[in-house]
Amino acid sequence: MNFDDIVALDKADVLASKRDEFDLPANTIYLDGNSLGALPKSVKSRVAQVVSEQWGSHLIRSWNDHQWIDLPTQVGEKIAPIIGAEKGQVICCDSISINLFKLLSSALILNTGRSKVLSTQDNFPTDLYMVQGLSDLLGTDLCQLKLVEEQYIEQHLTDDIAVLLLTQVNFRTGKLLNMQKLTELAHKKGILVIWDLAHSAGALPVELDKCNVDFAVGCGYKYLNGGPGSPAFLYVAKRHQSAVKQPLSGWMGHAKPFAFDAQYECAASINQYLCGTPSVIAMSALDAALDVWESVKISDVRAKSIALADVFIALVHSHASLADLRLSSTEDSIQRGSQLAFSHNHAFAICQALIEKGVIADFRAPNILRFGFTPLYTSFEDVWNAVNTLVDVVTTKLYAEPRFNLAGKVT
Ligand SMILES: *Cc1c(COP(=O)(O)O)cnc(C)c1O
């Protein structure tokens, strides 16, 4: 593969024009949109408008006049088609961690008589921590965490399990689980399923309704580009909505929040999953960021994501100097999300040196160098330049310099 091939790939890219909708810093190759999505230009003007016009001039009237009160549902409905959900099942609120607390509680109540929550050993830690916290609160008679290796999930789907809690794309390796098959197998044993879509929503086609999923959560600040600390979202299948309950019964989830009744009565809709007042500025940013998806076909996003990663792998393999980088992701693109993980003894320092040279990747303990591909704004030329910089950092041993070996608070 040579540079002409790269140019040809960018020329043929149907998503190429989307890059102009993002405000990307000069001289930077951003391969970390799987951790924090880049800034859509539309977000800048929207946030400025919300702050100065809506908040500044219209003050409290904006809850009605600028529909602040509808933001959680409005944003939820914009996310719904991206994850294969019909109307009335997705709402934007809180963080993934808090939403997991609500959904785990709901699922355990629905599946009374069973207490085990099955998850994977290397799931994203917050998912496991939330189960542990709930277990401490309720006691192990009502909630206990059971962990298995990712490849043994199927064998452990037994009829004493209440809830299967899985992240569709492994945050370290990028391994993509089969949502349809695992959901179906779990249902056969009476197990309810919660999928974490943190690394799937906006990265690949997700079909929650088609797969008959019970519950899901996902992230606003990764592939959906809502900005740092952007609110998350949750999904509850329509068929469960009249039966479910969740314990964070704040006033926004009340059937009539503005009746100020002393007695809690949950909303009949997905709105019962709201808790307190939405973060209007942050939710407005996500709302504007989601407009970028208008007219985008997720199948195009997936095809380009696979192509970008395949080119990256091919280029890494073509450089003998990168032989010490071991691909921890599968080579089989069908079983991969939109990121690649390589292990290396000096992964942390290599990552720091890359960042200094303008290639932003990230490091995940203990020894993983992670590259994320965001097809709306990553080009094939970015991939070409990133691999060349990597070659440079490794062959010159730039990473060995002491300044690249100091860890910051966030890695
Ligand atoms: C990023 C991520 C989270 C983040 O959770 P928050 O509570 O929103 O901070 C959760 N789960 C997975 C799998 C993630 O990748």
- The CATH number assigned to the domain holding 99 equals 3.40.640.10
Segments of 275-353 assigned E as strands: 326-327, 339-343
pLDDT at position 407 over 90 = no
No. of H helices and E strands in the chain?
11, 15
- Choose the final residue of a domain: 270, 293, 316: 293
Ligand 1 proximity of 221 Cβ (cutoff 6 Å): no
Structure tokens, 134: 């709930």
159-207 pLDDT, tens digit each: 999 999 999 999 999 999 999 999 999 999 999 999 999 999 999 999 9
- Choose the final residue of a domain: 264, 293, 322: 293
Are 313 and 286 members of one domain? no
Average confidence score pLDDT of the chain: 97
Question: Which pLDDT score, from 0 to 100, does residue 105 have?
Answer: 98
- When divided into structural domains, the chain yields a total of 2
Q: Would you tell me how many other CB atoms lie within 10 Å of the CB of residue 351?
A: 26
What separation in Å is there between the alpha carbon of 223 and the centre of ligand 1? 12
Give me the phi and psi of 119, to 5 degrees please: -145, -175
Are 175 and 96 members of one domain? yes
Q: Which domain holds residue 235?
A: 48-293
Are 312 and 176 members of one domain? no
Ligand 1 proximity of 124 Cβ (cutoff 6 Å): yes
Ligand 1 proximity of 95 Cβ (cutoff 6 Å): yes
| Cis amide bond preceding 366, omega within 30 | yes
Question: Which pLDDT score, from 0 to 100, does residue 205 have?
Answer: 98
Is residue 410 a part of any domain in this protein? no
| Phi-psi group of 8: left, alpha or beta (phi > 0 → left; psi -120 to 50 → alpha; rest → beta) | alpha
pLDDT bracket for residue 411 (50, 70, 90): confident
- Choose the final residue of a domain: 245, 262, 293: 293
User: What are the C-alpha distances in Å from 139 to residues 109, 134, 326?
Assistant: 14, 8, 42
Ligand 1 proximity of 172 Cβ (cutoff 6 Å): no
210-230 pLDDT, tens digit each: 999 999 999 999 999 999 999
d(CA 142, CA 146): 13
Are 65 and 21 members of one domain? no
CA 228, 81, 197, 156: dihedral to nearest 10 degrees? 170
Burial of 381 (0-12, 13-18, 19+ CB in 10 A): middle
Where is the binding site for pyridoxal 5'-phosphate, in residues?
96-97, 124-127, 167, 196, 199, 221, 251, 277
- Positions annotated as catalytic residues are 124, 196, 221-222, 370
Question: Which pLDDT score, from 0 to 100, does residue 336 have?
Answer: 97
Question: Which pLDDT score, from 0 to 100, does residue 124 have?
Answer: 97
Are 347 and 395 members of one domain? yes
